[in-house]
Amino acid sequence: MPPSPLGDFMRCELLLSGGHLLTMDDRRTVHEPGSLALKDGLIAAVGPASEIDGAWEADRVVDCRDRAVLPGFTDGHTHLFQGLARGLGEGLSIWPWLSEFMWPYAIAVDTEDARVAATLGAVEALRSGITTVVDNHYAPTDAGSVLAVAQALESAGLRGAVARGMAGSRTEIAKLRGLPEELHRYSDAEELEITRDCMQQRPPGSAVEIWPAPLNLSYGSQDLVRGAVELAESFGTRWHTHCSEGAKDPESYLAAHGVRPVEWLAREGLLDERATLAHAIWLDDFEVGEIGGSGAAVAHNPTSNAYLASGTARLRDLRREGATVALGTDGPSCGHRQDMFEVMKQTLFAQRLRTLDPASVRCEEALELATREGGAYAGLGAGTLVAGAPADVAVVALDRPHLRPLHRVVAALVYSARGSDVELTVVGGRVVFEDGRCVLVDEKALLAEAQERAERLVARAGLAGLCVPWAD
């Protein structure tokens, strides 16, 4: 029976009422219209608007008619410190891009640069409905800088993890491939100790955790990778790394170690459900099977992979073998926008071009990767709108010319929507973006500081020559 008018209503802080509600639950339930009650940072109730609205009394009600209500997105791999060099490094493949642009830039970044860049990226993410990020941070990596970046993300309103990038000792592969000595500031032991210290200060359960992240399987020390996996296991967190992003990565590893990188992880018992592997493009059949069979996860970054012409991940094969696959933006200097709508669309197009089969992946799957699969990847409980889940929600306007006429909400979101269509972002039950601004950040002051710092940083890194108005 419905509650009586005498006060039998259940109470919640926020009621999102009457939207096209995509729960992304196990049955992929869609309520049209549907409502969502949020209480104490969690989803208290979800269902048809006729049921929820009649049972709950809220401190605030948001009318979501002509809106899509869906789980907040997870960005499974980004580098927010790169945000002060957006738009530079054009026309380079992965290795020249790193050698001529990103490493000089990364070496020049200081703590305040990284904090401001991370805040800028967090604001952009929240504006586009991203509520969880895995920020692979490797410049600079002293404990103070890593913790400052984590605090910047939390202060803006995000949840997630800062995966502390560890270069460690300069291996023979690193020397052969020309990695600058300045990246190898710490020994393997020092890297692990600094990461341990950061993890103790932001343990599992923090709004923004710290994860160990050996920078790249292809040229990093095997001892560093082994130590990172052990550290993640001891704290109960995930660990993160770049994996076979470039075509030469597995080849150089095989030449140096007599085994391919993912094959080595599997052989050593290091590949399990804690592993989150960014890119994982150049895999052989054995490696695909080992990732899927071990419960490991992959962050697919189709936009940056296309930008650098790195290749296209074997999405269908990975998912068929049981791998969890999230989507990632891969940072403001490579993916350029913290916009999961763009990444979802690029996922479809890249896979269809790779397979020449328009049925190889559909819009429903892209939305799954950005929400429920991303939530499983990050391991923080988000990604679905079900009772008891974290109240992480994005509300997307559907009453705009590029989204009308509206026939199928999922297709409209994946093919036609963009980050700027997000009207409301909620993290842990708290509204962190609405009315065109992030409510916890002074955006005007942030943009001014970011521009000023970016100009000084680019000059300090010796990259001013890249700032030309027109490149021939």
Q: For residue range 399-458, list pLDDT tens digits in order.
A: 999 999 999 999 999 999 999 999 999 999 999 999 999 999 999 999 999 999 999 999
- pLDDT tens per residue across span 55-73: 999 999 999 999 999 999 9
Binning the chain into helix, strand and coil, the percentages to the nearest 5 are: 40, 25, 35
Q: Quick check: 5 pLDDT over 50?
A: no
Q: What is the pTM of this model?
A: 0.96
Q: Please report, to the nearest 10 degrees, the dihedral formed by the alpha carbons of residues 463, 302, 72, 149 taken in order.
A: -30
The topology under which CATH files domain 73-378 is: TIM Barrel (3.20.20)
Q: In this structure, are residues 426 and 14 in contact, taking their beta carbons and an 8 Å threshold? A: yes
Question: How much is the mean pLDDT over the chain?
Answer: 96
Write the CB contacts of 50 (distance below 8 Å, at least 6 apart in sequence): none
Burial 242-269 (b: 16+ CB within 10 A, else e): bbbbbeebbebbeeeeeebbbbbbbeee
With 0-12 / 13-18 / 19 or more C-beta atoms within 10 angstroms meaning exposed / middle / buried, residue 165 is buried
- pLDDT tens per residue across span 196-217: 999 999 999 999 999 999 999 9
- pLDDT tens per residue across span 130-164: 999 999 999 999 999 999 999 999 999 999 999 99
Q: Quick check: 7 pLDDT over 50?
A: no
Q: Confidence class of residue 6 from pLDDT cuts 50, 70 and 90?
A: very low
Tell which residue, 131, 119, 218, has the closest CA to residue 174: 218
How far apart (Å, rounded) are the C-alpha atoms in residues 163 and 237? 10
Say which amino acid occupies 45.
A
The mean pLDDT value for 277-295 works out to: 98
Q: Quick check: 3 pLDDT over 50?
A: no
How far apart (Å, rounded) are the C-alpha atoms in residues 124 and 118? 10
**Residue ranges per structural domain of the chain:** 10-71+384-438, 73-378
CA atoms within 13 A on the CB side of 286: 9
Thinking of the domain 10-71+384-438, which architecture would CATH place it in? Answer: Roll (2.30)
Return the percentage of the chain with pLDDT > 70, whole number.
98
Q: Quick check: 228 pLDDT over 90?
A: yes
Fold match between 10-71+384-438 and 73-378? Answer: no
Q: In terms of residues, how long is the chain?
A: 472
Q: Confidence class of residue 4 from pLDDT cuts 50, 70 and 90?
A: very low
Sign of the Cα torsion 284, 169, 201, 104 reads negative
Tell which residue, 91, 154, 430, has the closest CA to residue 146: 154
CA distances from 27 to 30, 379, 382 (A): 9, 20, 16
User: What pLDDT score does 193 carry?
Assistant: 98
At 47, which helix (H) or strand (E)?
strand 42-48
CB count in 10 Å sphere of residue 38: 29
User: What pLDDT score does 8 carry?
Assistant: 57
